Amino acid sequence: MNVTAEPAAITSDDIAGNVSLILGELAHTASGIDFGQVSGLADRIMAADRVFLAGAGRSGLVLRMAAMRLMHLGKTVHVAGDTTTPAITAGDLLVVASGSGTTAGVVKGAQTALSAGAEVAAITTNSRSPLAGIASAVVVIPAAQKTDHGSDVSGQYSGSLFEQSLFLVTETVFHTLWGTTNEPAEQLWLRHANLE
């Protein structure tokens, strides 16, 4: 007869330890980001006629959140792959994110945007990646890639630190751009979806 041991109960100390781990890693990673690169991204977003965002998996989900915030600022924003997303053209900006910088669909989308005359901004861990190589603006996040399971950069699972840092970067860009306007939060809220 097989007897399976009961799993240990999760304690508040377990939770507190993991919160501390995540916050510590995020703070350390953020301190290694070149804020000049982030400033360049913000400038390009502000100058673009329209902003398109593209990423796969969890990075794509973070960029969807960024798209909402840019819409709140009054930017014309589209998420690549949505059925109502129009063709990208000259004057537009494509913001892409890929930890590895090699995600095939994201790289292909960036190449298509360039061919259409649009500008590409990339957020990645890998400054030597194909994605970084074709972007005119790059933000490098010094986090482990999702396949780097033995990394001493992060004790978190599969790309979590990159995705958390990506959220921090995009929220920082939003907050910075908002600071250049005179719009109160109530004005931004008028643009929030009302068909929820």
CATH of the domain at 156: 3.40.50.10490
Q: Which of 110, 146, 135 is nearest to 41 (CA)?
A: 135
Please give the share of the chain, as a percent, with pLDDT higher than 70: 95
45 within domain boundaries? yes
Whole-number Cα distances in Å, 70 to 30, 45, 64 = 22, 9, 10
Cβ neighbourhood burial of 40 (10 Å; 0-12, 13-18, 19+): middle
Please write the tens of the pLDDT for every residue from 59-105: 999 999 999 999 999 999 999 999 999 999 999 999 999 999 999 99
What integer best gives the mean pLDDT of the chain?
A: 94
174 within domain boundaries? yes
177 within domain boundaries? yes
| Residue 130 lies in domain | 35-189
State how many domains the chain has. 1
Q: Which residues are catalytic?
A: 163
**Average pLDDT score over residue span 156-176:** 95
20 within domain boundaries? no
